[in-house]
Amino acid sequence: MSALSVSATFAAAEFQTPSIEYSKLMPMLIVFGVALVGVLIEAFMGRTGRHQVQLILSIAGLVAAFVSVTMLAGDNQIAAVGAVAVDGPALFLQGTILLLAIPGVLTMAERSLDRGGVFTSAGSSTPGSEHERVLTATGVTQTEVFPLTMFAVGGMLLFPAANDLLTMFVALEVLSLPLYLLCGLARRRRLLSQEASLKYFLLGAFSSAFFLYGIALLYGYSGTVRLSGIAEAVSSNSGSDTLLMTGTALLAVGLLFKVGAAPFHSWTPDVYQGAPTPITGFMAACTKVAAFGALLRVLYVGLGGLAWQWEPVMWGVAILTMVVGSVVALTQTDVKRMLAYSSIAHAGFILTGLVATDTVDPDTGAVLGVSSVLFYLLAYGFITIGAFAVVTLVRDAGGEATHLSQWAGLARRSPLVAAVFTLFLAAFAGIPLTSGFTGKFAVFSAAIAGDAAPLVVIGVVMSAVAAFFYFRVVVLMFFNAPAPDGPAVAVPSPLTTVAITLSVAVTVLLGVWPTQVLDLADRASQFVR
């Protein structure tokens, strides 16, 4: 018998057609489908009306995907031959990402603040060149951002649901690549925006390499990329510990980079400052949700048996992140950079909840480490999107006025905008009756239940430090005299107004009446294994 026919019979006997449960993957399929249709619209539709069609299509796709997430609610199974988990945390986070993407897309579509929209109409031209001037003069609106955003959202939906490391890596790249591009498309201050894009791309590619190398080592350890398989290998204690530890560390570097935790946070301020502000808001909220989802799944499902080893490291990372984020934010003079450092600090607060492994609430049976993080991410996402949307409104002749000194006396020019921004800052600081308080309360009580009281003490102290720089801005807005040539508050179109109103509503609602959502997070806190 020749070699060829041997391999042929072997394959025929072993081969089984895989099956994919398309209905379980519906949210992702809808979003990717809409992105594809968006690409075709870019290819075949005329300029006029393209913006409106893309906007309506994107919002409709996000809403439809959200509806299909709610229809899957309660599911607890593994789909697509083990590649995708459809369980509580995955569905909760997918719902969160879709809800956050709606105000995100609305702010991106804003066209009345800047002629032609937030994004440059000449992405490929050299900043300051004649070519750029000619293209900008046409006043063309950039509409490719809509399919790009939808691709990013699709990747974000897959990221927290990925049940094997290769799927997770593909999701990571699908969500990152469009974001790298979107960061470089600002209409004003294009050099800064392109620098942000390049930095994000280089560092992101670097961290992806870490992530991939971690996957390779964990595969070498366990012989599988499936998280449940890795968990089995860990519990049976087979294989080389060196491979396991190094692999875990490299994987964690890749994920902690995406959530923006110290010491892997250095890209955050530059990228958040340079990117177009609606993109910053979208990225700060949605990427963090997706990346924390993936981090939770890897640490709880794949490496849960190793918790004794990674918990102390996560303690250290959480403390460092909270301290760096809060303390460095004190010295910032640019409102976008300040919010970037505040997002780093918040990553630290979320990490305190994450270390409460295996701590189960005796009444509800909820895994506290998971449910508190789920709730915090939802609360934090809406505050962030709302805060960055407010930043787009404060403008002078050169575009957005982001230097803090320009915000002095803003309350006299527009009491409403100042009040809304104060609400978001109060929520960031964790003042009661805002969603930020409920979220902080949830993660800190989870950490206490998980015997991490010292972490909570540091968390509370750092919250106080953070409150100082948030309220410095409030004092600046309300009690300082406005500069004579200071910025004005622009009146946005209904798009941004709706986005900000939605964020305000969620922030207040989750602060005053959080029970329903807390219950939902409790019920959604079980990973399928």
Partner 1 sequence: MNSYVPILVLGALSLGFAVVSIGAGALTGPKRYNRAKLDAYECGIEPTPQPVGGGRFPVKYYLTAMLFIIFDIEIVFLYPWAVHFDALGIFGLVEMVLFIVTLLAAYAYVWRRGGLEWD
At closest approach, how far in Å is the CB of 278 from partner 1? Answer: 23
Q: Does 4 bind partner 1 (CB under 8 A)?
A: yes
Q: Indicate which single residue of 2, 5, 48, 515 sits in contact with partner 1 (rule: CB under 8 A).
A: 2
| Shortest Å distance, C-beta 28 to partner 1 | 13
Interface residue with partner 1 among 36, 249, 307, 313 (CB under 8 A) is 36
Q: 410: part of which helix (H) or strand (E)?
A: helix 410-413
Question: Looking at 6, 56, 71, 134, which residue binds partner 1 (CB under 8 A)?
Answer: 6
Q: Which stretch binds partner 1 (CB under 8 A): 7-15, 97-105, 431-439, 465-473?
A: 7-15
Task: Tally the residues of the chain.
Answer: 529
Dig out the tokens for 521 from the structure: 């997070």
Using CB under 8 A as the binding rule, whether residue 5 contacts partner 1 is answered as: no
Q: Interface residues for partner 1 in 39-68 (CB under 8 A)?
A: 39-40, 42-44
Q: Which stretch binds partner 1 (CB under 8 A): 14-22, 79-87, 175-183, 445-453?
A: 14-22
Number of Cβ atoms within 10 Å of the Cβ of 108: 28
We find the least distance from the C-beta atom of residue 341 to partner 1, in angstroms, to be 36
With beta carbons less than 8 A apart as the criterion, state whether 344 and 321 touch. yes
Applying CB under 8 A, the span of 17-25, 271-279, 289-297, 301-309 interacting with partner 1 comes to 17-25
Residue of 5, 9, 10, 12 that binds partner 1 (CB under 8 A): 12
- When binding is defined by CB under 8 A, the residue of 5, 9, 10, 17 that contacts partner 1 is 17
Nearest CA-CA partner of 96 in 523, 520, 497: 520
Instruction: Report how far residue 69's alpha carbon sits from residue 170's, in angstroms, rounded to the nearest whole number.
Output: 21
Nearer to partner 1, 202 or 330 (CB): 202
Window 450-489: residues binding partner 1 (CB under 8 A): none
CA nearest to 490, candidates 149, 218, 118: 118
Nearer to partner 1, 29 or 419 (CB): 29
CB nearer to partner 1: pick between 43 and 397: 43
Q: What is the dihedral of CA 145, 148, 153, 159, to 10 degrees?
A: -150
Residue 168 burial (CB count, 10 A): 26
Least distance from partner 1 to the Cβ atom of residue 44, Å: 6
Q: Which is nearer to partner 1, 19 or 515 (CB)?
A: 19
CA–CA gap between residue 448 and residue 518 (Å, rounded) = 18
Tell me whether strands 84-86 and 77-79 are parallel, antiparallel or unpaired: antiparallel
Helices (H) and strands (E) counted in the chain, each on its own, are 22, 5
The residues, any chain, with a CB within 8 Å of residue 375's CB and separated by 6 or more, are 438, 439, 442, 510, 514, 517, 518, 521
The yes or no reply on residue 202 touching partner 1 (CB under 8 A) is: no
The smaller minimum CB distance to partner 1, of residues 41 and 249, is found at: 41
The residue among 370, 380, 377 whose CA lies nearest residue 466 is: 380
The yes or no reply on residue 134 touching partner 1 (CB under 8 A) is: no
Do 172 and 258 form a contact (C-beta atoms < 8 A)?
A: yes
- Which residues here bind partner 1, judged by CB under 8 A? 2-4, 6, 11-12, 15, 17-20, 36, 39-40, 42-44, 124
